[in-house]
Structures are given as C-alpha cells and as structure tokens.
Amino acid sequence: MSNVYAVRPNQTIYIQNLNEKLKRDELRINLYHAFSQFGNILEVFASKKGNKRGQAWIVFDDLSGATKSVRGMQNVDFFGKKMRLSYAKEKSDIISKRDGSYVPREKRKMNSGDMKIEPKVQKTTAVATAKGEGAPAMETDEPEEEDSSPPNKILFARNLPPQATKKMLETLFKQYDGFKEVRLVDGKPDIAFIEFNDAQESALAKEGLQNFKITSQNAMKLTFAKQ
C-alpha cells in the first residue's frame, strides 16, 4: 500500500489488476455492486482499449466513500486477481463541475471499447443493504409492471441479456437478506429463478432490482414465480 496515499485523496479511485477476461457488462455490474457498499457511486468507467485493459475508475459522491473503499478493497480477490487501489491523480469532471472547479480541457474522443455507467442511486449504504431495506438499483423511466402473482419466496427474472451469468446474477441478489440461490434454465438464457428464504425477503429484492438495466437494452423484469 506504499503508493496508495502518494496522490492527494479525492472522490475518484483508480483500480488496477482487474481480470481482463471479464466482459464489459460483467465488469461494470460487479464493480458497481462490490463498491456500492462504501457509499453512493456517481460514475464507473472502464476501458477495453490496449494498455487500459484491467483498469477502472470509480467516482464516489463523497471522500468518505472513496477512502473506505481504498482501505476495504485493497488486495481483495476479485474474479481471481487481487485488486490494487489508489486515488486517481485528477478529480473527475463530474466532481469538478459540481464544486465549481471545472476547467474545460481538450475533448478526448472516447474509444469504441470504452464504457461508462452513471447510475442514479436510490440506496447504497452498507447499513441499508445489511438491513435488507433495499440495495442499490438504477432508476429507470419504465413503469413497474403490475404483478398479479401471489407473493412467493422465488422470483422469476426475464429479459436477461445473453451474457448474463449465474455469478453475475448472484452478485446482484446476494446483497439482500435471505438470498439462497440462482437457477438458470437450459436453452433459455433470458430467464432465471432466484430463491430466498421467504416471500418477504424476495419482495424486498424484487422492489430494489425491478427494471435494473444489466445492459442498456435489457431492463430486468421481476415477478413472483407461479406456484
């Protein structure tokens, strides 16, 4: 950790030594959910471009979240590789614009392999997650579907993208109390079943992750599984 504090602390953290085999969407989602326990996340940026592979930047809403994440996730095993964290050398534009210190700089062309996520966070504190009050979810403009099925400890998820994996879904749902398992369906990659200990716990997960956008084209739809 000798270089962690070589840069002045700020709300943006820089991550190295990430598993380069992860797909962009999988990396995006798992980083967001792994780090949201430390505070509100404003932005996650990663790139597939040459020498930027295996790296990412996460912007927190406040310095406390960034500091806790650097301390809490340093050298943590993340998909088979130990992450190396430090503070970013520069403030992100989203922060400098907010605090009035933004100075326009030459606009850089974003490589087609770059990706960015700017979630609108509803609840992201570790306390909220621990109590099952609702883990972080991305708000969408889509209205929530009316679910006529009676409450059930098993949720039925649909509209999943082809790249959704069991581990990816486990990462999303295990933030909620009572999570037991994810069951995929052979030959139907767009659906899955998620089981909790009881219907109350599954209802909390359903509310928190309804219309969660795993990709920009795939907003996950959740209903209680039919008994």
Kindly report, residue by residue over 156-175, the tens digit of the pLDDT. 999 998 888 898 899 889 88
Q: Calculate the alpha carbon distances from 46 to 15, 18, 223 in Å.
A: 10, 10, 32
Single pTM value for the model: 0.50
pLDDT digits (tens, 9 = 90+) for 44-103: 888 777 677 899 999 998 888 899 999 999 999 998 999 999 998 887 777 777 777 777
Domain edges within the chain:
12-117, 135-224
Asked if the model's pLDDT at residue 220 lies above 70, the reply is: yes
Taking alpha carbons only, the member of 125, 124, 57 closest to residue 95 is: 57
What are the residues whose beta carbons fall under 8 Å from the beta carbon of 33, sequence distance 6 or more?
A: 135, 136, 171, 172, 175
Query: pLDDT at position 147, please?
Result: 64
Residue 165 makes CB contacts below 8 A (sequence gap 6+) with: 26
- Could you tell me which CATH class the domain 12-117 is placed in? alpha beta
Listed in sequence order, the residues at least 6 apart from 82 whose beta carbon sits closer than 8 Å to its beta carbon are 17, 75, 76
What is the pLDDT at residue 106? 55
Q: How many CA atoms lie within 13 A of 77 on its CB side?
A: 2
Give the highest mean pLDDT range of 146-150, 173-177, 212-216: 173-177
> Between residues 152 and 104, which one has the greater pLDDT?
152
The mean pLDDT value of the chain amounts to 77
Whether residue 124 is predicted with pLDDT greater than 50 in this model: the reply is: no
Same fold, 12-117 and 135-224: yes
DSSP 3-state of 93: helix
User: Of the given ranges (7-21, 49-63, 134-148, 186-200), which has the lowest mean pLDDT?
Assistant: 134-148
**CATH for 135-224, options being 3.40.50.2300, 3.90.550.10, 3.30.70.330, 3.40.50.12160:** 3.30.70.330
